[in-house]
Amino acid sequence: MRAELLDRLAADLAGRRPPHPLRVAIDGPDAAGKTRLADDLARVLARRRPVCRVSGDGFHRPAAVRSARGRLSPEGYYLDSFDHETIVARVLRPLGPGGDRRYLPAAYDVRADAPVTAEPVTAPADAVLLVDGVFLLRPELREHWDVTVYLHVAPEETVRRALVRDLEVFGSADEVRRRYRARYLPGQELYRARARPAERADVLLDLTDPLAPAVLAWRV
């Protein structure tokens, strides 16, 4: 079922021909499977169109900014984690109407907590930009996407996956649970309340079972 979904998405995106690269957001809560879906979709889509891959994780703000409201602050997670101004100025606008197609693939290394030195890349005129990340449908970014995909995963499933994915990062299962219960899950609740991504996305998928995604809405 996953292969069929990827084929359907790839066919849909490949058939869209705006006068600039097609800008696609793949959004959803932490550990929803955004990066894997974007990577898999890129491989299928690349048979039809050139693909540019960018991750929202490459546009974090410095740790001091992200934690200024408190290391466990949900507001800090939602409001301060990512440099949306740079995403718009260096990725989405250059690839949008009237842009020069020269985009920045990344600006910050979150693990090293330091800027990265990356040269702009020129996208082919018929490219599809696939960006995975959290909070991609917030107001600052929403108007710059041509197609938006939102992945639904229940909070309990997010924590279950995080206990596998983030155990090494946070050091213990208890710390993973603490971070998610205090910061990440409430931050996602804040995002859903303010931005309503599931209602606004062009494609809404339930990724509870990554191998059998369920289409909840297809509005494009």
Q: What is the mean pLDDT of residues 11-23?
A: 97
Query: What per-residue confidence (pLDDT) applies to 163?
Result: 96
Please state the domain extents for the chain: 2-218
Enter the CATH code of domain 2-218: 3.40.50.300
pLDDT in tens, 55-93: 999 999 999 999 999 999 999 999 999 999 999 999 999
What single-letter DSSP state applies at residue 58?
A: G
Strands (E) across the chain are located at 22-27, 51-55, 102-103, 108-109, 114-115, 121-122, 128-132, 147-152, 203-206, 214-218
| Residue found by looking up tokens 């301060």 in the block | 80
- H or E, element range at 9: helix 2-14
pTM confidence score: 0.96
**Mean pLDDT, residues 192-202 taken together:** 98
In the predicted model, is pLDDT for residue 198 greater than 80?
yes
pLDDT in tens, 126-183: 999 999 999 999 999 999 999 999 999 999 999 999 999 999 999 999 999 999 999 9
Q: What 3-state class would DSSP assign to 14?
A: helix
Does the CA dihedral 41-83-141-118 come out positive or negative?
Answer: negative
Q: Give the model confidence (pLDDT) of 104-120 as tens digits.
A: 999 999 999 999 988 99
pLDDT on residue 220? 74
Average pLDDT over residues 7-22: 97
